[in-house]
Amino acid sequence: MYGQKKDNKPWLLERRAFLRLGTGLGLSSLLFGWSNPIQAEILSNSFSINPAVTPRGSAKNCLLIILRGGPSHIDTFDIKVGNWTPSKLGVAQNSAGFLWPTGVMPQLAKKANKFSIVRSLQHVEVVHERAEYYAETGRRLNPGLRAEIPHIGAVIALEQETTRISSDIFPGFMVFGGGGYSNNGFLSANFSPFVIDDAGSGINNLLPVDGLSSFERRRESLKLLNEINKGETNAARQTFSVFQEQAEKMMRDPATASTFLVNEADRKRYGNNYFGVSLAAARNVFKANRGTRFIEVDQYGWDNHINIYDDGPYNLPNLCRQFDTAFSSLLDDLGASSGVKAQTLLDETLIVVMGEFGRTVGTLNQTKGRDHYPYAFSAMFAGGGVKGGRVIGSTDETGAGVKDLGWSQNRPVH
């Protein structure tokens, strides 16, 4: 089950630190006793510090969809057919010509030219919490620094701060679902995530129950008290002031209430479930164009150690159907919405879909499921200048290891 496995291979030094100390794979094998050859191969790749790059600037927004629990890559984005493959997956070529589970993702099978798949992801974290942290921060988990490291969404909010205009009153970083490590770390509270547990149902306590006029009177009284005590400042108080200012701006904007409500027709079209409604709400936020540049949406339930192919609510077939319905609707809606700088909202919104790792390959385990497997897995990319219909990188015939990294830098995608 989720989070119950223990990490029995603790990491004492980052790979870069090993290189600086002049050690190599041979010494690391002696110290840690790596028994997995794929793990050893991943460790053997050098990580160099590259100079700053010039971004392409093809995306204005980013939507990160995390399939929490880790989907089986060989049953979804990197199909490997075997005697374990149930007929309900309906494995066949999609509209872009690569294998796809058309039985459980039929809509996306028709829209394969709108997204691309990268099959050369790999790392070495086998525990959910550590792998999630790695995916969301780009760093290995160090408990001593955990609170200081910002989520990638906070970093993007910081980078986009200079582009904000007076109408950008929404926070730059939002999270729908509240999972993972969504925090601003050592960055200013300005870049903290706005976390909504029930996206699409409005924001609780957005407006004062007794009206704005009463709020204004209390606000003026509070200002007087703040003036009296302005010399007594501390970090917690300053952080609260930032949140208070952000909330007040959202409260006064007439677009706020409608942005965070998803109507019944859209709920049905997106699958009428938590994940689908969250995607519809993310669409609304980007369409509102009020300054939010990064949104994370989570789909839960992919930790299929048991009965992976059953038709329960948190088994692979049903989760695939939910994802197919919601994500295909999102692609349609963003593609039909006008962008600010690009032709459509899809053109200026980069969408990344991934789990924290893949799952074991080949024959199922004793409980008819698949276990954690970080040594090879896949991610989906769409919008934001991504050329659709492509597969980048490849794994071996079983899906156990990366065979072709698939890009010019010839190093793993972590």
Quick check: 181 pLDDT over 50?
yes
Quick check: 318 pLDDT over 80?
yes
Cα–Cα distance, 175 to 323 (Å, whole number): 18
Nearest CA among 382, 395, 394, 393 for reference residue 351: 382
Quick check: 18 pLDDT over 80?
no
Cα–Cα distance, 49 to 3 (Å, whole number): 33
Q: Are strands 349-354 and 394-395 parallel, antiparallel or unpaired?
A: unpaired
Cα–Cα distance, 350 to 56 (Å, whole number): 12
Helix/strand/coil for 176 = strand
* pLDDT digits 0-9 by tens, 189-223: 899 999 998 888 888 777 777 777 787 788 788 77
Q: Which helix (H) or strand (E) holds 108?
A: helix 106-110
pLDDT of residue 237: 63
* pLDDT digits 0-9 by tens, 295-315: 999 999 999 999 999 999 999
* pLDDT digits 0-9 by tens, 31-43: 333 345 565 555 5
Asked whether 200 and 281 are in contact (CB, 8 A), the reply is: yes
Task: Show the tokens assigned to 346.
Answer: 């899809």
Cα–Cα distance, 126 to 370 (Å, whole number): 13
Residues carrying CATH 3.40.720, the chain: 56-202+260-404
Task: Output DSSP code: residue 199.
Answer: T
Task: Show the tokens assigned to 74.
Answer: 């060989």
Asked whether 269 and 288 are in contact (CB, 8 A), the reply is: no
pLDDT of residue 255: 87
pTM of the model: 0.85
Asked whether 339 and 347 are in contact (CB, 8 A), the reply is: yes
How many Å separate Cα 109 from the centre of its chain?
Answer: 22
* pLDDT digits 0-9 by tens, 224-279: 877 777 665 666 666 677 778 888 888 888 888 899 999 999 999 999 999 999 99
Residue 262: how many CA atoms within 13 Å on its side-chain side? 25
Quick check: 81 pLDDT over 50?
yes
Write the CATH number of the domain with boundaries 56-202+260-404.
Answer: 3.40.720
Number of Cβ within 10 Å of residue 280's Cβ equals 23
